[in-house]
């Protein structure tokens, strides 16, 4: 077990950092590169455990993948749309829900037989929301009777049929799984969402030369096309940047520049919420790589204020709420979140984990069935449990910028799944923290 010990910290007054590559984009680049024709070169790939699980799964199905090299480059020798082979053993996906749900869609119409498993956390997460629409398309796919993994995928009895899917719950992973299955289906497949979610799959398919039609909250594609190998640059992950955005935003007198961060419109919830809380963040040097917008983010610390978080921002910031809850702890007044029950279904129950930890640190935090109420105040010290959730661990680490006493965070080993090098970059920003192996 690995713990973080964070001392009350004085942030660096003026700092420039970069964060690792975007996890969502890294996953998709490897998957689509694997079924493309020819070579794909991925730059700034995230070498975290989740993304390595995707690489290992594609290798197990016969794809030659070189790297990640020291410069985080990965070279994928695509086998073509129907070139994957039956894996010789169960595909072990660790803690990666993205790998499991997207591979379920990708493999559903391909013709391979595979079993998808993961660690204890992943095996407890809901998979029926992906499996049910795939079955409706004609996939031979099943999971445990409790709706969780393992997932068994077999060769379909016939080619999949296109599906016009109306999503009741905003989920980029469900959308992506259906669209990936649609690559192998007869006719048109479309997904209509109640609220637009992250669209990395759609943008990535376009980069690989696959035509996509997008109309407001509906995405359409025709089955039968092929993908062509390409060169991909992965921007910095805004979910990783979020911890340092919050750390700087809630600390008056600090200025932080985070270089080359992905600012996909469907991932901008963290900025919108912090802006409403009074944060001083500017988006600079906007440009496009592989259909993804990238920018530098400049943060100047200020006193934040509590707000009622708009429900429209929830799917645009679903992974960043642990960090946002720390901002709320530092803010003057009350911050309220409702309509975010999805947070209870992540790597941990993030509503419970954050409410419990904040209470330990002296902050009044009331968990709700679908959200939380946080009264800003003075953060003290204490021992908190991250419940093995990487984002919970990193969120409580940045609380060291506003704590009056040391914070011991337990079960932090999962941070490597999403943010290798977190501790080193945190120290660059002035966070006084160390790792304790138990």
CATH number at residue 114: 3.65.10.10
Arithmetic mean of pLDDT, 18-47: 97
Regarding whether 125 and 157 lie in a shared domain, the answer is yes
Q: Which of 197, 212, 233 is the last residue of a domain?
A: 233
pLDDT tens for residues 55-83? 999 999 999 999 999 999 999 999 999 99
pLDDT tens for residues 351-410? 999 999 999 999 999 999 999 999 999 999 999 999 999 999 999 999 999 999 999 999
Cβ neighbours, 10 Å, residue 423: 17
Q: What is the pLDDT of residue 13?
A: 82
Arithmetic mean of pLDDT, 291-301: 96
Regarding whether 114 and 90 lie in a shared domain, the answer is yes
Considering only the C-alpha atoms of the chain, give the largest distance between any 2 of them, rounded to a whole number of Å.
Answer: 64
Q: What is the pLDDT of residue 392?
A: 97
Q: Which of 233, 259, 288 is the last residue of a domain?
A: 233
Asked whether 227 and 39 are in contact (CB, 8 A), the reply is: no
Q: What is the pLDDT of residue 290?
A: 87
Helices 49-60 & 23-34, crossing angle to 10 degrees?
10
Regarding whether 326 and 219 lie in a shared domain, the answer is no
Q: What is the pLDDT of residue 82?
A: 95
Classified as helix, coil or strand, 165 is: strand
Cα-Cα end-to-end distance for the chain: 5
Number of domains in the chain: 2
Model confidence band, residue 139 (pLDDT cutoffs 50, 70, 90): very high
Regarding whether 210 and 85 lie in a shared domain, the answer is yes
Arithmetic mean of pLDDT, 127-151: 95
Model confidence band, residue 12 (pLDDT cutoffs 50, 70, 90): confident
pLDDT tens for residues 414-428? 897 778 899 999 999
Domain assignment of residue 304, given as a range: 2-21+235-437
Cβ neighbours, 10 Å, residue 115: 15
Its pTM stands at: 0.91
Return the active site residues.
319
What is the four-CA torsion angle of 277, 260, 388, 250, rounded to 10 degrees?
-30
């Amino acid at each position: 077990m690995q713990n973080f010990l964070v001392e009350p910290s004085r942030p660096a007054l003026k700092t420039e950092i970069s964060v690792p590559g975007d996890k969502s984009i890294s996953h998709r680049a490897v998957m689509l590169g694997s079924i493309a024709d020819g070579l794909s070169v991925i730059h700034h790939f995230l070498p975290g455990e989740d993304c390595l699980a995707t690489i290992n799964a594609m290798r197990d199905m016969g794809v030659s993948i070189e790297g990640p090299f020291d410069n985080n480059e990965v070279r994928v020798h695509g086998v073509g749309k129907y070139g994957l082979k039956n894996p010789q053993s169960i595909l072990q996906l660790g803690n990666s829900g993205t790998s499991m749900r997207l591979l379920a869609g990708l493999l559903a119409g391909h013709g391979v037989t595979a079993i998808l498993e993961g660690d204890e956390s992943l095996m407890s997460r809901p998979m029926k929301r992906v499996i049910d629409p795939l079955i409706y398309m004609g996939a031979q796919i099943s999971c445990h009777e409790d709706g969780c993994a393992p997932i068994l995928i077999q060769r379909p009895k016939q080619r999949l049929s296109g599906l016009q899917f109306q999503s009741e719950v905003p989920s980029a992973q469900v959308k992506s799984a259906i669209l990936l299955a649609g690559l192998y289906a007869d006719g048109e497949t479309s997904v209509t969402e109640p609220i637009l979610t992250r669209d990395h799959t759609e943008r990535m398919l376009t980069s690989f030369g696959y035509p996509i039609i997008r109309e407001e909250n509906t995405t359409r594609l025709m089955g039968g096309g092929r993908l062509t190998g390409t060169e991909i640059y992965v921007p910095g992950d805004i979910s990783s940047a979020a911890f340092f955005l919050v750390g700087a935003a809630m600390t008056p007198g600090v200025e932080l520049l985070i270089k080359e961060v992905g600012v996909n419109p469907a991932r901008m919830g963290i900025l919108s919420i912090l802006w409403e809380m009074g944060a001083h963040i500017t988006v600079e040097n906007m440009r496009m790589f592989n259909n993804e917008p990238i920018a530098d983010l400049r943060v100047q610390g200020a006193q934040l204020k509590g707000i009622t978080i708009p429900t429209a921002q929830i799917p645009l910031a679903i992974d960043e709420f642990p960090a946002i809850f720390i901002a709320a702890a530092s803010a003057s007044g009350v911050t309220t979140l409702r309509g975010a029950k999805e947070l209870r279904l992540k790597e941990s129950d993030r509503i419970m984990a954050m409410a419990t930890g904040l209470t330990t640190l002296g902050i009044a935090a009331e968990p709700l069935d679908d959200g939380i109420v946080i009264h800003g105040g003075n953060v003290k010290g204490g021992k908190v449990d991250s419940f093995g959730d990487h984002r919970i661990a990193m969120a409580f680490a940045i609380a060291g910028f506003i704590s009056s006493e040391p914070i011991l965070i337990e079960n932090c080993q999962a941070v490597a799944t999403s943010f290798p090098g977190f501790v080193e970059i945190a120290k660059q920003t002035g966070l006084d923290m160390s790792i304790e192996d138990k």
